Amino acid sequence: MPRPLVLFWAAPHRTALLDERLSEFCDTALLSDCNLDDRRRAAALIASSTGVNKAIGAETFAQLPNLSVVASRGAGANCFDLDAATAYGLPVLNNPGVAPDAVVEYVLATLPLVYRHLVEESRALEKGSELRQLRPQLAGKTVAVLGMGAIGRLVAARVQAAYDVAVTTWRPRRRPDVPAGVRVVGSLEELLAGCDALVVTLPLTDETTAMIGEHELSLLKPSAVVVNVSRGGIVDETALAARIAAGRLGGAAVDVFATEPVPADNPLLGLPNVFATPHCAGIATEARARLDSATADGVLCALAGVRPKRIANGVWPPRRRPAGFAYPVPAPA
């Protein structure tokens, strides 16, 4: 019986651990290295949001006629076109809540960094001057967390204890069990107008795309800061940069961008109190190991006909799967 072939969309999506876990049961290859016969026998496709600015969809699926499942290595699934995958009968696997700690650490590290203008102080020092300006501290302020998934709830719980702040949120659609002490407000406008720092942890969907635009940013206090660890496209980067440059917002920490890799002319880059990073908040050794293991288990379970724990588009069973493939399903965590 031939082994199933698992493809990686691009080299950055292929890690040693993931390859090792999959290779025990499957053949693996990069999509770009495959000939027509390989594409015809491919059973699974793995990708991540890194370097994927247009969702992988029907055009690719049509070239892989025996595909059973597609999987995102990350928490989100926006590297795939969910509607196209559903139309093809493909479960889309992802890993929400598997490894939130690394992203939460990023939020806790950057909140005081930008709120107290320490980025600006550091850059001024590098240029030979010392600002040493009197700034308010974070303690006693209000942090708004927009998005109450695994990351948002952990941010809300930890930031209260770490910095003695009040935490608010709005419309926790899927997770009404917000952490103790978090106040739920009645509207997005109320959330924005009442906070000193906005932390965005939402998934990118049709509903959340461009959710924080010029109007929404105008509701924030001029001293407020934004921390975005969700996905590019949720916060209007041009509007955010313009308000910071004009002194109408305090600053921002941004780990996600509408276009990745980030172009050198992105308006947020180089602003005095903007801490910008290349979608690396979740890239920690331990977090990546958990995500890779979860991705491998999900793909292997799906190929064996066992429903994986996390399916972004709800499709199950897949339209087809490799005949005779078996996998010793791990015990529930």
290 in catalytic set? no
Active-site residue identified among 13, 14, 73, 231: 231
Tokens of 278: 């290349």
Is 231 catalytic? The answer is yes
Please, what is the end-to-end C-alpha distance for the chain in angstroms? 31
Name which of 308, 197, 212 is nearest 251 in CA terms.
197
* Sheet-wide strand order for 92-93: 27-30, 5-8, 42-47, 69-72, 92-93
Question: Which is the catalytic residue, given 117, 153, 279, 321?
Answer: 279
Q: Is 59 a catalytic residue?
A: no
Q: Which of 41, 171, 260, 320 is catalytic?
A: 260
| Consecutive H or E run containing 37 | helix 36-41
Cβ-contact 25, 300 below 8 angstroms: yes
> Using the 8-state DSSP alphabet, how is residue 249 labeled?
S
Kindly give, in sequence order, each residue whose CB lies less than 8 Å from that of residue 18, ignoring residues fewer than 6 positions away: 46, 73, 292, 295, 296
| Cα(73)–Cα(46) distance, integer angstroms | 7
Residues annotated as catalytic (active site), given as ranges: 231, 260, 279
